[in-house]
Structure formats: C-alpha cells, structure tokens
Amino acid sequence: MSDLDRRYRKTYPISWEQLQRDTRTLARRLLEIGEWRGIIAVTRGGLVPAAIIARELDIHRVDTVCVSSYTWQNQGKIQVIKPVADQGEGWLIVDDLVDTGKTAAVVREMIPRAHFATVYAKPAGRPLVDSFITEVDQETWILFPWDASSQFIRPIAGLKQDRS
C-alpha cells in the first residue's frame, strides 16, 4: 500500500474549467491587494495557475522556483532544483495547492517577503499561505486535470447485463 492509499481517503477531481474559474477568482482577490512586480511560479503545479494569473493581472515578469517533493504515489524529501535570486518584495508566489506545508515552508524560507497564493489549501498547509480560494480536507487527494484523462465509462445498465 502506497503513502497515497494510506493518507487520502477521498478524491476531488478538478476540471480545466473549474481550475480556470477558481484561479480567476484568486486573481480578482490578488488584484484588490495591490500591484505586483512579478510572479514566481512553484513548479510544476503552480505553472498553470501562474499563467492564468499573469494573464488576468497583466503581469509579464514570471520566474519559477523549482521544488520537487511528490512522485505520483508518495510525498518524499523536498528537493530544491532551482532557487530564485530575488527576495520577493512585491512579488507574488503562485502554486496550485498547499498540502502538508512542507514545500511552502521551503519556498517561504527562500522568499520570505513575497505574497504566497494558492488556488487550493489543506488545513496543515493553510497557515503558510497568504491567499487561497478553496479549502479541501487533509485526507482528500486533489486530482488536477493534467494528472487525469477522460475516458468512456460504460453505463451502469450495461454492467448489469455483463454479469448475467
């Protein structure tokens, strides 16, 4: 049994449309806070929300901080692949999700004066971000659209016929 199977009892699938709506809602909230020098996307999950926010707020300066902690099944040791040089005054850090807060803590330490925004937040990581849109239970696995594919599913009535 993987860490994923033990930790996550529920799944919350996010469609591309929902992700765009939720991220645009976050952009509206960020627009009310102030003007930003640029965006620092936390890769890889923060790339899509950062692109949407950059478009909505007309921000052209986008950098990345590359941090890795997840494989598709487990959350492991945090590895900083690419840090950022700027200390973050007036910068906006964007990620898709704050889960346990381990990645967010590393990024916060690197860029302490930036405003940290995520689209989704879980209770363990929520204190580490400044802005988010949707809170999700800690035991819920968020299934992002880039991690899933659409496929045909047989109608329930057809399944009954197969058992006969």
- Interatomic CA distance for residues 4 and 101, integer angstroms: 16
pLDDT at 83 over 70: no
Interval 54-79: pLDDT, tens: 999 999 999 999 887 755 455 557 77
Q: Annotate 57-79 with DSSP letters as a single string.
A: HT---EEEEEEEEE-SS-EEEEE
Rounded CA separation 164/156 (Å): 14
SS3 30: helix
Highest mean pLDDT among 76-80, 128-132, 143-147: 128-132
Range of 71's domain?
3-163
By C-alpha distance, which of 69, 57, 123 is closest to 94? 57
Average confidence score pLDDT of the chain: 87
For 106, phi and psi rounded to 5 degrees?
-65, -45
Structure token digits, residue 94 = 């964007």
Residue with tokens 């487990």: 74
Element (H, E) at 125: none
Q: State how far the alpha carbon of 164 is from the alpha carbons of 81, 154, 155, 160, in Å.
A: 55, 16, 15, 7
Catalytic residues: 95-96, 99
Looking at the structure of the chain, the number of domains it has is: 1
Residue 138's identity, in one-letter code, is Q
Residue 15's CATH number: 3.40.50.2020
With cut-offs at 50, 70 and 90, classify the pLDDT of residue 154: confident
Report the distance separating Cα 45 and Cα 133, nearest Å.
16
- Antiparallel, parallel or unpaired: β 38-43 and 115-121: unpaired
| Spatial separation of the C-alpha atoms in residues 143 and 164, rounded to whole Å | 34
Range scoring the smallest mean pLDDT among 5-9, 44-48, 140-144: 5-9
For the whole model, what pTM was predicted?
0.82
